[in-house]
Amino acid sequence: MKSYQEVFSDLRKQGRAALIPFFVIGDPDFDTSLELVKAAIDAGADVLELGIPFSDPIADGPTIQKADVRAMRGGMNTHKACQFIRQVKRHKDIPIGLLMYYNLIQQYGVERFCKDFHEAGVNSVLVADLSIDDADEILVPARAAGLDSVFMVTPNTAPQRMERIAAKTTGFVYTVSLLGVTGSREALSSAADGLVRKLKGLTQVPVCVGFGVSKPEHARTIADAGADGVIIGSRIVAMIENHLDKPQEAVREITRFLTEVKGALAAK
């Protein structure tokens, strides 16, 4: 199974940042979602960030909230998400990070969750509503199962806390570029650049940036600041929402968009 370390060190050698698209698993249904994720891989995704839909996603803006609702209506649940990941890995071995809410893990059983999802091919679990203060509730079973840890840093995180977060991280630091929830933004947050530079000065672990990254230029700016990866969520999820009646259109549009971002990341 491909590790974050392999992927990020390869990319560092190439001088390129990782392209990391985000999808809600099962949006709008199992089969369409699988097709979309495969298309994103074929368009050059280096890592995948996948969400298991939750009824009360407090860190998410309207676009991903609606995707959660679609996926849940389409019958997605934790068990099926595990099958979904197995099928993605059959298409290609690329690292997968989960981004989700704590209650789903609690109810599945933390140890069992880590074991089952690692076996299915997941590299890390980022719990949106679990901070490093309580992270040990999941870190111990996650490590035992072989999962890497990923935590968030935000523009208002104090420097000392950043260090603590980086110290607990074995996968990558998920840098939230703005104060707010997920969602497309016209302009990239002005905080992103400084935050990446600060983190790069603090830690050796890869630093990836997400939330509000919506355009190829945004990705380029983040890469120029020294980030190891860019995570693009809402912009892609909105493309699914805009073509619910014609999923093939969504596949084409997402492919075209990711190819463009990939190009922007490659250009020196």
Classify 36 as helix, strand or coil. Answer: helix
Residue of 88, 47, 42, 68 whose CA lies nearest to 254: 42
How far is residue 196's CA from residue 155's CA, in Å, rounded to a whole number?
10
Count CB neighbours of 112 within 10 A.
12
Q: How far is the CB of 133 from other proteins (least distance, A)?
A: 6
Which phi and psi angles does 48 have, rounded to 5°?
-115, 140
Q: What is the DSSP string of 138-197?
A: HHHHHHHHT-EE-EEE-TT--HHHHHHHHHH-SS-EEEE-SSS-S---SS--THHHHHHH
Which are the catalytic amino acids?
A: 49, 60
Q: How far is the CB of 68 from other proteins (least distance, A)?
A: 10
Q: How far is the CB of 166 from other proteins (least distance, A)?
A: 13
Q: Using CB under 8 A as the criterion, which residues of the chain lie in contact with other proteins when the complex forms?
A: 54-61, 65, 72, 77-79, 101-108, 128-131, 133-134, 151-158, 161, 165, 176, 178-181
Residue of 205, 242, 197, 244 whose CA lies nearest to 223: 197
Q: How far is the CB of 16 from other proteins (least distance, A)?
A: 27
Query: Which 3-state string (H, E, C) describes 220-236?
Result: HHHHHCCCCEEEECHHH
Which residue lies nearer to other proteins by CB, 79 or 112? 79
Q: How far is the CB of 222 from other proteins (least distance, A)?
A: 18
How far is residue 234's CA from residue 182's CA, in Å, rounded to a whole number?
7
